[in-house]
Amino acid sequence: MTWFAPAGASDRAVLARWAAGVGPPVVHTAPAGDLSADTLLVVSWNIALGAGDVTRLLRDASVGQPGAHVVLLLQEVYREGPEVPGKAQDGVRFAGKLGAEGQRRPEIEAIAAAEGLNLYYVPSMRNGSPLVSDEDRGNAILSTLPLSDFSAIELPFERQRRVAVAATISGRTSEGLSWNLRVVSSHLDNLVGARRGWIFGGESARTRQARALVEYLQGSDAVVLGGDFNTWFGFNEGTYVEIARAFPDTSSHDRRPTFMGFLRLDHLFFRLPAGWRGQFHRAADRYGSDHYPLVATIDLRPSL
């Protein structure tokens, strides 16, 4: 696994205190299956600490065709267990606990095992103090196709530690042509401190994180980036504009809100080789989460 981190010493120092509270990344390899795919379904979704029903989404015929290869770019997934440090060291930072109390929620490893999916998960922050939970949370990639070339992208620190995850999906078309696609799941900060303006100061913070993310993703002509970018100001926010500029094949025809009925916080971005085509829409159901999934279809065959 390749790890990218901000160059600034101040960022590194505070990020290290957050990192000390989480467990290690997780890679799970599912049994190998058929690698042939002319199209790929890519879903970006904040599943609200396991409240989102991944199984129901995968079974929903309105989302994708049964048997099609699927990649899930997930945010706000969690992992629990002895891998997460049980004792707080001096100076360790952690986030407040999210997730419904008393309600059993599937952790990310259980979801991958139940669905027979390949998994790559990197925690961003501890989900509550060691006194109240044994959980961490972050971003994950689940896939019916093999994952390789794992990267973790630690973004500049603003309010909480944020780590984007990237991996390569590989397959071949029905005509036997091999293809590779880089897929990335990211979650940016929603707010900053009161001194920096809470919501209104958050835009500049997210834009700084977006610039770092774009820089790390340079050099590949086949990338799909999905995530909860917390764009309170929608498509006009600098965060969106900064990323979209680097992903020229992005289509934004479906601009419906993805959170609370009026906020467009979630996005998908495409940078595709010549001849590939990508389009996406917002799903009609939230499947138990507080965010709607975004569902993309990537055509991997060169257009004629």
pLDDT digits (tens, 9 = 90+) for 119-176: 999 999 999 998 889 999 999 999 999 999 999 999 999 999 999 999 999 999 988 8
CA-to-CA dists, residue 278 to 30, 41, 78, 295, angstroms: 26, 10, 29, 10
Residues β-bridged to residue 227: 186, 267
Q: Report pLDDT for 82.
A: 94
Domain spanning 2-299, CATH architecture:
4-Layer Sandwich (3.60)
* The pair of three-digit structure tokens given for residue 44, joined into one six-digit string: 């970006």
* The pair of three-digit structure tokens given for residue 76, joined into one six-digit string: 């706000």
Cα–Cα distance, 259 to 41 (Å, whole number): 22
178 has a pLDDT exceeding 50: yes
End-to-end CA distance of the chain: 37
Percent over 70 (pLDDT), the chain: 95
Nearest-5° angle of CA 295, CA 258, CA 53?
60
pLDDT digits (tens, 9 = 90+) for 186-244: 999 997 654 555 566 688 999 999 999 999 999 888 999 999 999 999 999 999 999 99
Indicate the pTM of the whole model.
0.95
